[in-house]
Amino acid sequence: MLPILVMIAFIPLLDASKFPLFRISGTLLCRGNPIKGNIIMIDDNFSINDHLLSEKKVELDGKFSLRGEPIDDCLDVKLVVEHKCHGMKAGRGDSSKLKGYSVFPVHISDLVKSEYDFSWDIELSESTVRISSPVLPAWRAWLYGKRIISDSIERIKQLKIWNNV
């Protein structure tokens, strides 16, 4: 009980990020053609401290637009793209059912130069691909759990009771 009280006591002292809201948009491409997939945008602060910023299911036209709100002063954005633009096979099975994922770092200088509205067409065929399952679903669950907790803390900070403390 004491650790919870200590954590609640320090909630009003937490600062927001010095970085503004930002947007990354573009098209997912496989050998020059649009492709569907899923994109997870994270703020990469060491594996256990990653923050989920946004997630988007990309349709067949390949178009995506993600918005992010940094929660700390260490902005290290990465896009994790789950896709089928690869040559991996599961045994002798059909590779069209096998999902892979690729990681694309977003350089802070690109965000700043674009005034935090960055456009990027991502060619997946030239990227390193890893098999999605079971790593990506477990990691996604971890990120969503952390996001629920951080959003709850943010709501607690906004309660009017903190104005009188």
Q: Is the dihedral of CA 141, 145, 146, 148 positive or negative?
A: positive
Q: Which residues make Cβ contacts (< 8 Å) with residue 23, sequence separation at least 6?
A: 65, 66, 67, 68, 116, 117, 118
* Model confidence at 15: pLDDT above 50: no
Average pLDDT score over residue span 139-149? 89
**Placement of tokens 């694309």 in the chain:** 104
List of domains in the chain: 16-164 (2.60.40.3330)
Contact status, residue 6 vs residue 40, Cβ threshold 8 Å = no
Q: What is the mean pLDDT of residues 117-127?
A: 94
Residue 83 has pLDDT above 70, yes or no: yes
Q: Which residues contact 92 (CB under 8 A, 6 or more apart)?
A: none
93 pLDDT above the threshold of 70: no
Q: Do the bridges between strand 117-123 and strand 63-68 make them parallel or antiparallel, or are there none, so unpaired?
A: unpaired
**Greater model confidence, 14 or 32:** 32
14 DSSP assignment: P
Residue 102: partners with Cβ closer than 8 Å, 6 or more residues away: 80, 81, 83, 124, 127, 128, 129, 130
Quick one: pLDDT at residue 12?
38
CB 64 within 8 A of CB 26: yes
Residue 41, pLDDT above cutoff 70: yes
User: Could you tell me the two tokens for 156?
Assistant: 């607690």
Q: What is the pTM of this model?
A: 0.76
Q: Which two tokens stand for residue 56?
A: 């988007």
Which residues is 40 bridged to in the sheet?
55, 80
Does the pLDDT of residue 13 top 50, yes or no? Answer: no
Q: Decide if pLDDT at 3 tops 60.
A: no
